[in-house]
């Protein structure tokens, strides 16, 4: 009996995923078959079974797990090989139910445990295949042994089922919990990666805008100051045209790193698109935002952004403080963007603060 830990499909799996699946099954198969042997052994003891039955039971419990794992490990497709091993397990379970004359207590426990893990491994389709193998094995062994039924389970048989009932579900739950934690961690990593711009390593546009939206709602709720800063690399097209896109990419990476290094821990920067960046500055009014913008602008102006070609660049920066008159966060960003274009129209390499028309 094995722990269900893999998704319910039979598609091709990568070699390493199949090997991990086989390794997980190895320990749980060894545990499940030992517990199952105790369960079946109670029935064999009550029914006065002969030495060959005991020998077969010990071989199944103590030898088969160490055969099944190498079969899967050495296979070109470990995942499918392990599925075949699971079907063999089901067949052996059916055979042992027939050997003990379908004694109700041990047979019901063996059937339930095997059905549970097969459903989790491959869903109802895989369960159907395993039940078919189990039924065929049970029928063959029952006919070979004369189909002797034991309709009542003795006290020894019922007691012998308890270790399997008590221990194996805990092992299943623990393995499932560990797998769920790993999947959750992987999902969190994927979610984090999906929010990051691959070139700049800053938030991508959609996720940065969601941060601005959250800050906008927070400002409305508690009334504290905040500002948005929009940044553009001056004459970036000329850098690409003269030095090529790889150099342009290096400039973007270095500008992003310098911007991030000039900010406070709670400030959030993102790549807005192309050579444009956005920064939200929680708790900072317009004057404070201008000081931060000037610090960033001066740092970029004094830095060689691509040493091999001695590439330098400057920034134009627009700043807009939170305004209760804004209908939403996109209007806030738009005001900072208009301030950015004002800085560019005024000669570039400067910071401009948004000012309302006529203000």
Q: Are residues 101 and 220 in the same domain?
A: no
Q: Are residues 155 and 227 in the same domain?
A: no
Which pLDDT belongs to residue 121? 78
User: Average per-residue pLDDT in the chain?
Assistant: 89
Q: Is the dihedral of CA 132, 170, 176, 72 positive or negative?
A: negative
Least confident of 142-151, 172-181, 216-225, 286-295: 172-181
Q: Are residues 173 and 227 in the same domain?
A: no
Contact in structure between 278 and 230 (CB atoms under 8 Å): yes
Tell which of 152, 170, 194 closes a domain.
Answer: 194
- Give mean pLDDT, residues 6-22: 65
Which pLDDT belongs to residue 101? 93
Q: Are residues 148 and 228 in the same domain?
A: no
347: nearest Cα among 235, 238, 252, 230:
235
Contact in structure between 212 and 229 (CB atoms under 8 Å): no
Digit-coded pLDDT (tens) for 219-259: 999 888 999 999 999 999 999 999 999 999 999 999 999 99
Supply φ then ψ for residue 318, to 5 degrees: -115, 140
Q: Are residues 214 and 168 in the same domain?
A: no
Measured CA to CA, the distance from residue 248 to residue 258 in angstroms comes to: 15
For residue 223, give the CATH number of its domain. 3.30.70.270
pTM of the entire predicted model = 0.58
Question: What total number of domains does the chain contain?
Answer: 2
DSSP summary character for residue 75 = S
Tell which of 194, 224, 241 closes a domain.
Answer: 194
In this predicted structure, the answer to whether residue 123 has a pLDDT above a threshold of 60 is yes
Least confident of 29-43, 100-114, 184-198: 184-198
Measured CA to CA, the distance from residue 246 to residue 249 in angstroms comes to: 5
Digit-coded pLDDT (tens) for 307-329: 899 999 999 999 999 999 999 99
Tell which of 143, 172, 194 closes a domain.
Answer: 194
How many CB atoms lie under 10 A from the CB of residue 209?
A: 18
**Helices (DSSP H) in 8-77: which residue ranges?**
15-46, 51-62, 64-73
Q: Are residues 267 and 345 in the same domain?
A: yes
Least confident of 86-90, 123-127, 346-350: 123-127
In this predicted structure, the answer to whether residue 359 has a pLDDT above a threshold of 50 is no
How many CB atoms lie under 10 A from the CB of residue 3?
A: 24
Six-digit token pair at 180? 């769920």
Six-digit token pair at 235? 């004459």
Contact in structure between 26 and 142 (CB atoms under 8 Å): no
Cβ neighbors of 112 (< 8 A, separation 6 or more) are none
b/e map of 214-244 (b: 16 or more CB within 10 Å)? ebbeebeeeeebbbbbbbbbbbbeebbeebe
Which pLDDT belongs to residue 188? 67
Q: Are residues 188 and 254 in the same domain?
A: no
Higher model confidence: residue 18 or residue 257? Answer: 257
* Rounded alpha-carbon distances, angstroms, from residue 199 to 76, 251, 256, 320: 38, 10, 9, 26
Domain region containing 345: 205-353
Contact in structure between 39 and 153 (CB atoms under 8 Å): no
Residue 199 covered by a domain: no
Q: Are residues 23 and 162 in the same domain?
A: yes
Q: Is 76 helix (H, G, I), strand (E, B) or coil?
A: coil
User: Given pLDDT bands bounded at 50, 70 and 90, which one contains residue 15?
Assistant: confident
């Amino acid at each position: 009996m094995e722990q269900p830990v893999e998704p319910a499909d039979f598609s091709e799996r990568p070699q390493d995923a199949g090997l991990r699946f086989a390794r997980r099954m190895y320990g749980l198969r060894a545990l499940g078959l030992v517990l199952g042997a105790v369960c079946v052994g109670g029935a064999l003891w009550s029914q006065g079974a002969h030495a060959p039955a005991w020998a077969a039971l010990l071989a199944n419990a103590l030898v088969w797990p160490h055969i099944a794992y190498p079969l899967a490990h050495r296979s070109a497709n470990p995942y499918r090989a392990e599925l075949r091993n699971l079907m063999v397990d089901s067949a052996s379970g059916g055979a042992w139910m027939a050997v003990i004359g379908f004694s109700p207590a041990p047979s019901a426990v063996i059937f339930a445990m095997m059905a549970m893990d097969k459903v989790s491994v491959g869903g109802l389709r895989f369960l159907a295949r395993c039940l078919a193998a189990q039924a065929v094995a049970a029928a063959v062994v029952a006919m070979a042994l004369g189909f002797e039924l034991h309709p009542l389970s003795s006290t020894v048989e019922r007691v012998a089922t308890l270790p399997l009932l008590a221990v194996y579900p805990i092992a299943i739950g623990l393995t499932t919990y560990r797998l769920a934690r790993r999947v959750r961690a992987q999902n969190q990593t994927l979610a984090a990666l999906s929010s990051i711009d691959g070139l700049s390593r800053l938030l991508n546009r959609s996720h940065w805008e969601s941060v601005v939206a959250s800050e906008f709602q927070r400002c409305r709720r508690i009334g504290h100051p905040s500002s948005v800063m929009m940044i553009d690399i001056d004459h970036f097209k000329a850098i690409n045209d003269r030095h090529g896109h790889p150099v342009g990419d290096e400039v973007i990476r270095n500008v992003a790193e310098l911007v991030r290094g000039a900010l406070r821990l709670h400030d959030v920067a993102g790549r807005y698109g192309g050579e444009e960046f956005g920064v939200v500055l929680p708790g900072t009014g317009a004057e404070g935002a201008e000081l931060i913008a000037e610090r960033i602008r001066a740092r970029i102006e004094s830095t060689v952004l691509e040493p091999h070609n001695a590439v330098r660049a400057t920034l134009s920066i627009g700043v807009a403080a939170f305004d209760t008159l804004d209908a939403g966060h996109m209007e806030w960003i738009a005001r900072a963007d208009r301030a950015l274009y004002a800085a560019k129209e005024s000669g570039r390499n400067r910071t401009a603060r948004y000012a309302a028309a006529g203000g």
